[in-house]
């Protein structure tokens, strides 16, 4: 899962998401401390109760493939040697969905498949989310 791919430069709540993930050494999502709602992408107010009382907490990593796409072409030079590659929309056990990369072959991914999400911390301000086959 080693990455030398280009990365974005997040700011604000996206930056807080990446910093929490780097600090914990595992994938974190925004959690409402008042009602318990998990949220991604992060928001200033809880979508369930409108609270501003939130923290970024580690998640279990358990997820399911909600959808996926297979890319057969890339204009980004860092990804050209990896085509075809799969990008997954994963629904976490906690509820929110997020986009993950995977090294699974396209024919090894199916909607509804159980997967495990892991963070690859690139630096304190950015991480890739990877999906692998659940144990």
% of the chain beyond a pLDDT of 70: 94
Whole-number Cα distances in Å, 109 to 67, 68, 112: 9, 8, 9
pLDDT tens per residue across span 57-72: 999 999 999 999 999 9
pLDDT reported for residue 80: 85
- The full DSSP string for the chain is -----------HHHHHHHHHHHHHTS-EEEEETTT--EESS--SS-TTT----EEEEE---EEEEEEEEEES--SSHHHHTT-SEEEEEEEETTS-EEEEEE-S-GGG--TT-EEEEEEEEEETTEEEEEEEE--
């Amino acid at each position: 899962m080693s990455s030398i791919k280009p990365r974005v430069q997040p700011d604000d709540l996206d930056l807080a998401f990446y910093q929490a993930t780097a600090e914990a050494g595992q994938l974190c999502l925004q959690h409402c401390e008042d009602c318990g709602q998990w949220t991604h992408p992060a928001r200033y107010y809880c979508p369930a109760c409108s609270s501003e009382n939130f923290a970024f907490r580690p998640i279990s990593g358990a997820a399911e493939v909600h959808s996926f796409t297979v890319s057969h072409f890339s204009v980004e030079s860092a990804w050209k040697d990896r085509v075809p590659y799969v990008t997954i929309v994963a629904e976490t056990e906690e509820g929110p969905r997020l986009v993950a990369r995977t090294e699974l072959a396209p024919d090894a991914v199916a909607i509804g498949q159980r997967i495990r999400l892991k963070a690859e911390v690139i630096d304190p301000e950015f991480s890739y989310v990877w999906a692998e086959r659940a144990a």
